[in-house]
Amino acid sequence: MKKIQPNPASLDPQTLVVHDEHDEVHYGAVTMPTYQNSLFTFPTHAEFDAAMDDGRGRFVYTRGNNPTVRALEQRLAALEGGERARCFASGMAAISSAILSTVRAGDHIVCVDQVYGPAKQFMSTYLKRFGVETTFFDGTSVDSLRNAMRPNTTTVYLESPTSMSFELQDIEACARLARSRGAVTMIDNTWATPCYQSPLALGVDLVVHSLTKYIGGHSDVVAGVVVGSEERMERLNADEFMLLGGIMTPQSAALLLRGLRTLPLRMEKLQANGFAIARYLEQLPFVAKVNHPGLDTHPQHELGRRQMTGYSSLLSFETKGVPLEQMRRWGDALAYFRIGVSWGGYESLVIVSRQNEAQKESAFVRTRLYIGLEEPALLIEDMERAFREAGIH
Ligand SMILES: *Cc1c(COP(=O)(O)O)cnc(C)c1O
């Protein structure tokens, strides 16, 4: 049987995700089988002992290691250019475990202010109970990060672009600053995916993803991953991974391995679709701003070109002088956009802002769009019709 042993560093992402290393154990199966078992057994106690003493390398119990999950971890580590990955039950399990692996009571975290909501809550509220404090900084300014850092800062948490306002951080500059102060840098790379942004190469220590989004790609699995160096990952593995136990199931790993096959292919189409919609929105008279870092009107467009090789298809826009209720009627009138959170699947999504105090004071309404795999001309037609029906012009 043919043995393909690609050197991951030498492969483009699409080739990387379609080639597996096969061996006799799997009978040449073209996809990695789903090892739906909780435990692994041994013919002798000597072999059992050897496996127990080599906890990382060997399969003993699925809370620690499972072949299907490991196949996915190896693939994700290769895609991110990291030494090791560990998969979790959700993006939040990955995020909370990664953060916990870098702090103890009395430590301080600095985090970008527009960060994903539950991650913000975990740092600002939950960790406070354990004596860990967090300061939030303006991600568009490295000086703001510098000013927020304290002697006891152990962790700098980034998310670039952020997933509501699509602001970027200068990843290399932030990581360099953190490193010079002895702090670990981690980043949520969910938006850009490993196809379009490689934070480890820019000096970041740990990369986290919600695999629920683009990497899963089919809105049928909730999962997360942390990627980093062998040394950093071993610490996280021994403590947060093994003790908190928020592991990925083998079935989820199998779905994710399937999703990964087409990730680069999907991202290309999604990127094109996202740009088409962003450019359409930009020329509407009642649209004040389109938040998409790939547009040359984005204030950090140049930074984006330096640190990303492409753009995904989650964006937001702000309408001016249109009452919130009218924008919500527009959202309801859309035929091809479903109303819902999450993103990264095949289907387009919309969320018009909810009524809140800040919104009442503002002349702007923010709408987030996830552009899926439908033809962009059809999506534009749908939006135009809905604008007419909602009386917006
Ligand atoms: C969805 C999301 C998460 C959380 O991931 P879950 O899989 O839902 O736990 C984290 N970061 C970003 C940017 C997300 O969009």
Per-residue pLDDT of the chain in tens (393 residues, 90 and over written 9): 455 555 666 788 998 898 876 667 888 888 999 999 999 999 999 999 999 998 667 999 999 999 999 999 999 999 999 999 999 999 999 999 999 999 999 999 999 999 999 999 999 999 999 999 999 999 999 999 999 999 999 999 999 999 999 999 999 999 999 999 999 999 999 999 999 999 999 999 999 999 999 999 999 999 999 999 999 999 999 999 999 999 999 999 999 999 999 999 999 999 999 999 999 999 999 999 999 999 999 999 999 999 999 999 999 999 999 999 999 999 999 999 999 999 999 999 999 998 776 666 788 999 999 999 999 999 999 999 999 999 999
State which of 95, 121, 190, 193 you would mutate to test the pocket of ligand 1, scoring each by most atoms of that ligand within 8 A of its C-beta: 190
Label the pairing between strands 206-210 and 349-352.
unpaired
The residue annotated as part of the active site, out of 20, 86, 107, 116, is: 116
pLDDT of residue 23: 67
Sign, CA dihedral 308-310-316-317, equals positive
- Taking the centre of ligand 1 as the mean of its atom positions, its distance from the CA of residue 210, in whole angstroms, is 5
The residue annotated as part of the active site, out of 20, 188, 328, 370, is: 188
pLDDT of residue 8: 67
Task: State how far the Cα of 137 lies from the Cα of 170, in Å rounded to an integer.
Answer: 13
Amino acid at 111: C
Q: How many other C-beta atoms lie within 10 A of the C-beta of residue 389?
A: 13
pLDDT of residue 357: 63
Helices assigned H by DSSP within the chain: 13-18, 45-53, 67-80, 91-100, 117-121, 142-148, 171-180, 193-196, 230-236, 250-261, 263-282, 301-307, 324-333, 357-361, 376-389
Listed residue (198, 186, 195) closest to 214, CA to CA: 195
pLDDT of residue 1: 45
91 lines ligand 1 (CB under 6 A): yes
**116 catalytically annotated:** yes
pLDDT of residue 3: 56
The residue annotated as part of the active site, out of 84, 213, 266, 328, is: 213
Residue 25 DSSP class: G
CA atoms within 13 A on the CB side of 178: 27
